[in-house]
């Protein structure tokens, strides 16, 4: 196979000359190709077949133990000018980055197959969708891209029609952490990733293209590429709303996108558009419309059980690739929080011994096509996207941030987004549980200076008077004993319901310095295991703690110097004044 697109042909030839693969395989995205790649990996021991009776067509991949998460300290944005990348990114001068990366890529595919993987981010017939091609020496990457994106012939045809695509070059190299770099060249619509076979480091359509490169293009072209789920909510009366929510990695997007209503709200229908990334565009009427650029999920496995997320639990019972879970004596996948079964072999393939830590890696993941999601919404394939009624920001904070509050207006909402803080998780290497600023949940993913990014967000306020309302939520408040104050998961619909009632102007609110909060009676707790005291704590706004928080937010914002929009400082001052 080859292509009529000369630029693509040339790039593949140049890359082959540099990396010297034994053969080149153009991926067509067919079922036969998918099965052949699985067989190849099974033969090599790169995949292990799980119990075919209870988990048909499910496989386990064990990644290198040093390669189990995104590596933010090894991820670079390579713009000619350092200030363009901003204090939020690691920066390398593009010439130096190319030299360093090409040195690593030289000859790295000897004896290996080079896969050329054309893909489309978004419905193939959507004007909002964008294509890319990933060149990789990893069959694991190729099969994951097949599950996660619209990969193969149709994408290549679109590339040949449009002539435009993002290039991503990837090699697992020798998996040496000292020779691992994820580099982005936004000017060139180019990604070079070396030395990791894991998730966001290697599946270049996801974080590298659909967030870092796309956020750059979006700034230029007037749209937004965000780390957001998109969920469809239908009330018992048949009223439909679409909500987009940005939470940092491993902070609940997949779970909220697949929520199952609690019994007392049984008449509600909740359907998934996307669980990780949203591309948002203003249409001619000024409505903000969202597409999910992905068509599959790379989701956190631990904690998935029939009570927390039955949709996901059922979804991953067939045709799923598991990465870094444990297995039982019956060769079924096992993870902490599965709710039944016992691990026999841990994620590294050793006999399970609690002294070695958890049986499944805390960042173990499932890869599965979205079609298998019992709550899949057909609107996920609508080329026009879905109209967004509300944008929600959130973080994992044991203290301070209330269960929910509404920003006063768009400008204040941008401040609320810019101020998001969250405890770090196992989704990236490094210490877990450290609270850090993660503006719009985009700290690891914004491809340019946050100062400019916030200015871009603010510009939407001048372009439309039909923008969604902005909210902030926190499902993770804890009591003195470290127990969650809020039950979370399905019960989060109680909060989404208040949000929709606010959007529709059907419910009042308590006005506070930080925004509009529900009064206790505004949250329907019928059938919920939440005491009146807990709800009071969840909805409290303590001026003293918030004054300290606002000081911390200000010093964070000041890091962006003259790139920081004045509007954000004005919004900040207004909150401080209101706190008294």
Q: Report, as residue numbers or ranges, the catalytic residues.
A: 251
Site string for ligand GTP, 425-444 (x = CB under 6 A): --x-----------------
CB of 254 to ligand GTP, least distance (A): 4
Residue from the set 19, 84, 254, 373 that interacts with ligand GTP by CB under 6 A: 254
CB of 446 to ligand GTP, least distance (A): 15
Residue closer to ligand GTP by CB (options 308, 348) is: 308
Residues 274-293 that bind ligand GTP (CB under 6 A): 275-276
Contacts with ligand SPV, residue ranges (CB under 6 A): 70, 199-200, 206-207, 249, 276, 298, 427
CA 67 – CA 429 distance, rounded (Å): 9
Helices within 394-449 (DSSP H only): 410-418
Helix, strand or coil, per DSSP, at residue 125: coil
CB of 84 to ligand GTP, least distance (A): 26
Residue from the set 58, 300, 359, 469 that interacts with ligand GTP by CB under 6 A: 300
CB of 301 to ligand GTP, least distance (A): 8
CB distance 100 to 11 below 8 Å: no
Beta strands in 264-403 (DSSP E): 269-274, 278-282, 288-291, 296-300, 321-323, 326-327, 333-334, 365-369, 386-394
216-223 LR contacts (CB < 8 Å, sep 24+): 216/186, 216/447, 216/448, 217/130, 217/186, 217/189, 218/279, 218/456, 219/448, 219/452, 219/453, 219/456, 222/282, 222/459, 222/463, 223/128, 223/279, 223/280, 223/281, 223/282
Distance of CA 136 to the CA centre of its chain: 22
CB of 427 to ligand GTP, least distance (A): 4
Residue closer to ligand SPV by CB (options 427, 470) is: 427
**305 near ligand GTP, judged by CB under 6 A:** no
State the CB neighbour count (10 A cutoff) for residue 136.
Answer: 28
E strand or H helix at 216, and its extent?
A: helix 214-221
Residue closer to ligand GTP by CB (options 430, 488) is: 488
Residue closer to ligand SPV by CB (options 105, 297) is: 297
CA 77 – CA 83 distance, rounded (Å): 11
E strand or H helix at 447, and its extent?
A: none
CA 292 – CA 278 distance, rounded (Å): 5
Select from 122-130, 287-295, 301-309, 514-522 the region that touches ligand GTP (CB under 6 A). 301-309
CB of 153 to Mn ion, least distance (A): 28
CB of 206 to ligand GTP, least distance (A): 10
Residue closer to ligand SPV by CB (options 185, 298) is: 298
Task: Measure the CA angle with vertex 576, ends 575 and 577; round to 5°.
Answer: 90
Nearest to 124 by CA among 277, 288, 290, 295: 295
Residue of minimal Cβ distance to Mn ion: 276
Residue closer to ligand GTP by CB (options 5, 255) is: 255
CB distance 179 to 104 below 8 Å: yes
**26 near ligand GTP, judged by CB under 6 A:** no
CB of 90 to ligand GTP, least distance (A): 20
Site string for ligand GTP, 377-416 (x = CB under 6 A): ----------------------------------------
Total residues interacting with ligand GTP, rule: CB under 6 A: 22
CA 59 – CA 55 distance, rounded (Å): 9
Distances (CA, A) of 353 to 88, 208, 344, 349, 493: 39, 36, 9, 11, 38
Residue closer to ligand SPV by CB (options 276, 332) is: 276
Residues 465-494 that bind ligand GTP (CB under 6 A): 475-476, 484, 488-489, 492
Residue closer to ligand SPV by CB (options 100, 206) is: 206
State the CB neighbour count (10 A cutoff) for residue 552.
Answer: 13
CA 24 – CA 261 distance, rounded (Å): 48
Residue from the set 181, 247, 322, 453 that interacts with ligand GTP by CB under 6 A: 247
**308 near ligand GTP, judged by CB under 6 A:** yes
Interacting residue ranges for ligand GTP, rule: CB under 6 A? 247, 249-255, 275-276, 299-300, 302-303, 308, 427, 475-476, 484, 488-489, 492
């Amino acid at each position: 196979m080859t292509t009529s697109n000369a630029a693509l042909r040339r790039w593949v030839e140049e890359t082959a000359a540099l990396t010297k693969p034994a053969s080149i395989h153009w991926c067509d995205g067919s079922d036969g190709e998918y099965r052949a790649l699985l067989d190849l990996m099974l033969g090599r021991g790169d995949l292990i077949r799980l119990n075919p009776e209870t988990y048909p067509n499910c496989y386990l991949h064990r990644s290198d133990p040093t390669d189990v998460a995104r590596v933010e300290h090894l991820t670079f944005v390579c713009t000619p000018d350092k200030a363009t990348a901003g204090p939020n990114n690691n920066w390398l001068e593009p010439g130096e980055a190319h030299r360093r990366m090409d040195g690593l890529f030289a000859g790295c595919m000897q004896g290996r197959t080079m896969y050329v993987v054309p893909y489309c981010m978004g419905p193939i017939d959507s004007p909002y969708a964008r294509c890319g091609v990933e060149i990789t020496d990893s069959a694991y990457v190729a099969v994951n891209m097949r599950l996660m994106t619209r990969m193969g012939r149709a994408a290549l045809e679109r590339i040949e029609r449009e002539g435009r695509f993002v290039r991503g070059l990837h090699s697992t190299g020798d998996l040496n952490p000292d020779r691992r770099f994820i580099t982005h060249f936004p000017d060139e619509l180019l990604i070079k990733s070396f030395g990791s076979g894991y998730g966001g480091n290697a599946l270049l359509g996801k974080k590298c293209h659909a967030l870092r490169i796309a956020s750059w293009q979006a700034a230029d072209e007037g749209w937004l590429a965000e780390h957001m789920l998109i969920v469809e909510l239908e009330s018992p009366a048949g009223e439909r709303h679409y909500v987009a929510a940005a939470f940092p990695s491993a902070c609940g997007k997949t779970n909220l996108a697949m929520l199952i209503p609690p019994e007392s709200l049984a008449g509600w229908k909740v359907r998934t558009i996307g669980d990780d990334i949203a591309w948002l565009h203003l249409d001619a009427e000024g409505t903000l419309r969202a597409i999910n650029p992905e068509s599959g999920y790379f989701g956190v496995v631990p904690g998935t059980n029939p009570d927390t997320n039955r949709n996901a639990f059922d979804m991953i019972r067939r045709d799923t690739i598991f990465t870094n879970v444990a297995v039982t004596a019956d060769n079924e996948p096992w993870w902490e929080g599965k709710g039944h079964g016992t691990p026999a072999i841990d994620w590294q393939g050793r006999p399970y011994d609690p002294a070695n830590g958890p049986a499944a890696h805390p960042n173990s993941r499932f890869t599965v096509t979205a079609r298998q999601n019992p709550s899949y919404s057909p609107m996920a394939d609508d080329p026009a996207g879905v109209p967004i009624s509300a944008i929600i920001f959130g973080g994992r904070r044991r203290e301070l941030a209330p269960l929910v509050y509404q920003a006063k207006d768009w400008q204040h909402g941008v401040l609320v987004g810019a101020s998001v803080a969250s405890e770090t998780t196992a989704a990236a290497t490094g210490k877990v549980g450290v609270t850090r600023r993660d503006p719009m949940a985009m700290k690891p993913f914004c491809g340019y200076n946050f100062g400019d990014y916030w200015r871009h967000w603010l510009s939407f306020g001048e372009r439309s008077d039909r923008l969604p309302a902005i909210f902030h939520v926190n499902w993770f408040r804890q009591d003195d004993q470290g127990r969650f104050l809020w039950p979370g998961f399905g019960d989060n619909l109680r909060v989404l319901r208040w949000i929709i009632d606010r959007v529709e102007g059907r419910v009042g609110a308590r006005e506070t310095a930080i925004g509009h909060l529900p009064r206790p009676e505004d949250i329907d707790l019928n059938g919920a295991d939440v005491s009146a005291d807990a709800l009071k704590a969840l909805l409290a706004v303590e001026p003293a703690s918030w004054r300290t928080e606002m000081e911390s937010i200000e010093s964070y914002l000041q890091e962006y110097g003259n790139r920081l929009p004045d509007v954000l400082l004005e919004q900040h001052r207004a909150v401080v004044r209101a706190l008294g």
